[in-house]
Amino acid sequence: MSSAPFLDLSAIPEDQRDAVLALLQENVALKEKATGLQSKAADLEDLVKRLEHLVAELRNAVHGKRSEKLSEDERQLAFEDLEVAVAEAETQHDEQAPTAPAPQRAARRNRGNLPKNLPRIEQVLEPESLDCPCGCGEMHMIGEDRTERLDIIPAQLRVIVTVRPKYACRSCAEGVTQAPAPAHLIEGGLPTEGAIAHVLVSKFSDHLPLYRQSQILARSGIDLHRSTLADWVGTASFHLGPVVDRLAEHLKRSSKLFMDETTAPVLDPGRGRTKTGYLWALARDDRGWGGDDPPGVVFTYAPSRGGHNAEQILQGFDGILQLDGYAGYNRLTRSSRKGGAPITVAHCWAHARRKLKEVFDRDGSEIAAEGLRRIAEIYRIEAEIRGMGPGQRRSARQARTAPKVAEFGEWLQSQRRRISSKSRLGEKLTYIHRQWDGLQTFLHDGRVEIDSNSVENLIRPIALTRKNALFAGHDEGGRAWGRIASLIATAKINGVEPFAYLKATLEAIAAGHPTRRIDDLLPWNFSPSS
């Protein structure tokens, strides 16, 4: 045999030759199997090394040095790639050992989480024959197995054809009647209010610029230029303006608000390049202490970061304002403030912590590390009392937090006397010192948060839209951006689906929704059945 070329069969008794040959064949098969298993083991080892590398990369991105950390968006991509790699490794393992018992691992399904309102298309699979194998006759159904899988059909486009029959009297020329034409947001225009809402959500929630939406529509045979979509957005922005203005009025009636600003690059045709505009975020979020007022945010575009913009936006508001240490807000605390009495400021401990963290990450400063440790103790108490009523929070802060804040203040002044104010650490300590009064505001009012992270979380989607859209085409585009983003963000933080809300709101406006009932159109008053 070719499998045993050096074996002399003549030396083996004839009655044992078959058994020896069988053993030799089995040995060859085992060697081939062993070789295959070694190859598979090597492949799996390579996969494990790859996954270990990805995990190390992700761990470094999350916990590594600041200069090596990923942004929020990049971190999500890293998570996605890691999960893709895990799924690939599991699939490869299954394919390499199809006959071996499969290890127990989580099934790749999401049973029970498919919404009941999704349309179901049933596919009934009958056996090839219902005749009993024993010849007893036709079998009867005694039960069934049902499985559900999610199917996705690319966005369906359809045409709404409105037919209005005309009726006339056969006996005279006076009796012609016809149903009135339904009201549309864009009279005589192409889109339904649902189509406009889809464009708004795609641009300002899914961060898909209009020119990309135009390209996607073209794949379905719909030729809609970017400028046409821009007309739809502008019309919607105009009609939604009163709703956003009313939203701002509601927020400014509150006793406490957050404020922050973020850049919004805007094309400057006169210079052929972009200039830096700003979206100012004014937000209310009382969920930390169980407040009754629903959360909301309004983004207001301004061409500059000057403090007078904040002063203008806050006209009529006289409560506590939580913000970072930007000097432009200082004018709000002066007696000369326009639009109201001087505002009480609550500064942000997260920003104070961030200043020390920058020094620690760069220099490994023991002083910065001590400051971070002290701030962590304050945050630990905040985590324990989150969700309690304002009275309970104030009592806990006075009893537990105030002594730690006082100790931090003494430590801060002690370090400032020792360290040059011109050094990197000295500059950070001076920053905290300048905000010291505002950093203590939260101790005396249980409604006040320890930081302004709430508003920072709300403006994060703005940054993603900015990244994908590159810039706004004009100052007016920046205003529309802020207006529509306000309604989408407020809908989201109130648990309202933005498309359903905007579609219903645009339909109501087109139908002549009365101004006196404009509060009905605010996101927190929307329900899917309305």
Using CA atoms in the order 114, 117, 121, 123, what is the torsion angle rounded to 10 degrees?
50
CA 299 to CA 475: how far, in whole Å? Answer: 14
SS3 at position 361: helix
SS3 at position 30: helix
Residue 168 parent element (H or E): none
The predicted pLDDT at position 64 comes to 58
Q: Are 266 and 478 in contact (CB under 8 A)?
A: yes
Using CA atoms in the order 219, 225, 228, 230, what is the torsion angle rounded to 10 degrees?
90
CA 41 to CA 112: how far, in whole Å? Answer: 37
Q: Are 357 and 333 in contact (CB under 8 A)?
A: no
305's CB contacts (< 8 A; 6+ apart) are 261, 276, 278, 326, 328
List Cβ<8 Å contacts ≥24 apart for 239-245. 239/185, 239/506, 239/509, 240/483, 240/484, 240/487, 240/505, 240/506, 240/509, 241/483, 242/515, 242/518, 243/487, 243/505, 243/518, 243/521, 243/522, 244/298, 244/483, 244/486, 244/487
The predicted pLDDT at position 107 comes to 47
Domain residues of the chain, as ranges? 254-495
Residue 348 phi/psi, 5° resolution?
A: -100, 120
DSSP code for 3: T
pLDDT in tens, the chain (530 residues): 444 455 566 667 777 767 767 777 777 788 878 887 777 777 777 767 766 765 665 566 556 554 445 555 555 555 555 555 555 555 655 665 555 554 554 444 444 567 888 888 888 888 888 888 888 888 888 888 888 877 777 778 889 898 989 888 887 877 788 888 888 888 878 899 999 999 999 988 888 888 889 999 998 888 888 888 888 888 898 899 999 999 999 999 999 999 988 877 665 555 555 667 888 999 999 988 888 999 999 999 888 888 899 999 999 999 999 998 888 888 888 888 888 888 999 999 999 999 999 999 988 999 999 999 999 999 999 999 988 999 999 999 999 999 999 999 999 999 999 999 899 999 999 999 999 999 999 999 999 999 988 877 777 666 555 555 444 445 566 788 888 999 999 999 999 999 999 999 999 999 999 999 999 999 999 988 74
Q: Which of 530, 524, 43, 17 is nearest to 292 (CA)?
A: 524
Give pTM, 2 decimals: 0.75
The predicted pLDDT at position 383 comes to 92
